[in-house]
């Protein structure tokens, strides 16, 4: 299963968030959470970052807790917000339709 984070923050906070990210990257995530992609874009409303994490199904609950703990360090940054949601691959989702 995958967990996808969607973080946003204003352009004015970009340097602070980048510094926090560099600091956070120095402390690896638990070994059962594999960060597969970190994607970013910027626009009129600020910066958006998608984080894609691959997690074994039986560890999803703990991974949500660990990733939430990871994002706590960003809470004090002005304008920062995020969501974290589980997502399935098409191969995982299609059988749920009975196909």
Per the DSSP assignment, residues forming a β-bridge with 50 are 6, 39
Q: Is the pLDDT of residue 66 over 90?
A: yes
DSSP 75: T
3-state secondary structure of 53: strand
Mean pLDDT (whole number) for 14-33: 88
Does the structure show a pLDDT above 90 at 84?
yes
**Architecture, CATH, for domain 2-88:** 2-Layer Sandwich (3.30)
* pTM of the entire predicted model: 0.86
| pLDDT classification of 44: cutoffs 50, 70, 90 | confident
Q: For position 21, what pLDDT does the model report?
A: 84
Q: What share of the chain is helix, strand, coil (3-state, %, to 5)?
A: 40, 35, 25
Taking residues 28-34, report their average pLDDT: 93
């Amino acid at each position: 299963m995958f967990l996808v984070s969607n973080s946003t923050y204003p352009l004015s906070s970009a340097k602070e968030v980048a510094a926090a990210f560099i600091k956070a990257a120095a402390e690896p995530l638990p070994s059962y959470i594999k960060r597969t992609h970190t994607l970013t874009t910027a626009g009129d409303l600020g910066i958006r970052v998608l984080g894609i994490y691959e997690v074994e199904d039986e560890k999803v609950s703990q991974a949500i807790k660990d990733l939430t703990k990871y994002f706590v360090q960003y809470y004090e940054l002005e304008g920062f917000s995020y969501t974290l949601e589980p997502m399935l691959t098409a191969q995982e989702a299609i059988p749920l339709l009975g196909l």
